[in-house]
Amino acid sequence: MDTLRMTRPGIEWMPSILIFLAVIAIATLGGLATDTASTWYLHLSKPSWQPPAWLFGPVWSTIYLLLAISASLVRHATGGGARSTLMALYGINGALNLAWSFIFFQGHAPLWAGIDIILLWCSIPLIMIRAWPVSRASSLLLLPYLLWVSFASVLNWSIVGLN
């Protein structure tokens, strides 16, 4: 292993770079799918306690950064089947996260987005529980994500109820 590191410096960082690129792709595609200026979205009834639109970008950017760090820590702390399982869980989580933006904003389907966000929410503590024995830090880095998706779930279902 040391020979590999000596002959190809930085190779141990390649999985982390790929993880960060995957998270950036999810964030970018989700951002492109999100259209808060559409006539459909503007005419939705929303709860009075919905945060201002400008807050979502910084919050999601922070969450995506923490998510990428968490996945990278887990990737480097595990091997074999445990690594494969955890990386699959992160992948499923990313797919559910991305799907929400398309279902809600492009599909104009808050109810189906609400179902997706429940699955997304469930995937976060599942990752946290599975990652805890491997890297407690990676689990704790997902706590803001869990809290934000909890809030977003209530917001999504409030919109369903109001419309």
Distance between CA 107 and CA 86 in Å, rounded?
30
In a domain, 104, yes or no: yes
* CA 19 from centroid of its chain's CA atoms: 12
pLDDT of res. 113: 98
In a domain, 77, yes or no: yes
In a domain, 49, yes or no: no
pLDDT of res. 1: 42
**Domain housing 85:** 2-44+58-162
Q: Which residues are CB-contacts of 53 (< 8 A; sequence separation ≥ 6)? A: 36
Per residue of the chain (163 residues), give pLDDT as tens: 444 444 455 557 889 999 999 999 999 999 999 999 999 999 999 999 999 989 999 999 999 999 999 999 999 998 899 999 999 999 999 999 999 999 999 999 999 999 999 999 999 999 999 999 999 999 999 999 999 999 999 999 999 999 9
In a domain, 143, yes or no: yes
In a domain, 52, yes or no: no
In a domain, 50, yes or no: no
50-89 burial, b for 16+ CB within 10 Å, e for fewer? Answer: eeeeeebeeebeebbebbbbbbbbbbbbbeeeebeebbeb
- Number of structural domains found in the chain: 1
| CATH code of residue 111 | 1.20.1260
In a domain, 51, yes or no: no
pLDDT of res. 8: 52
In a domain, 107, yes or no: yes
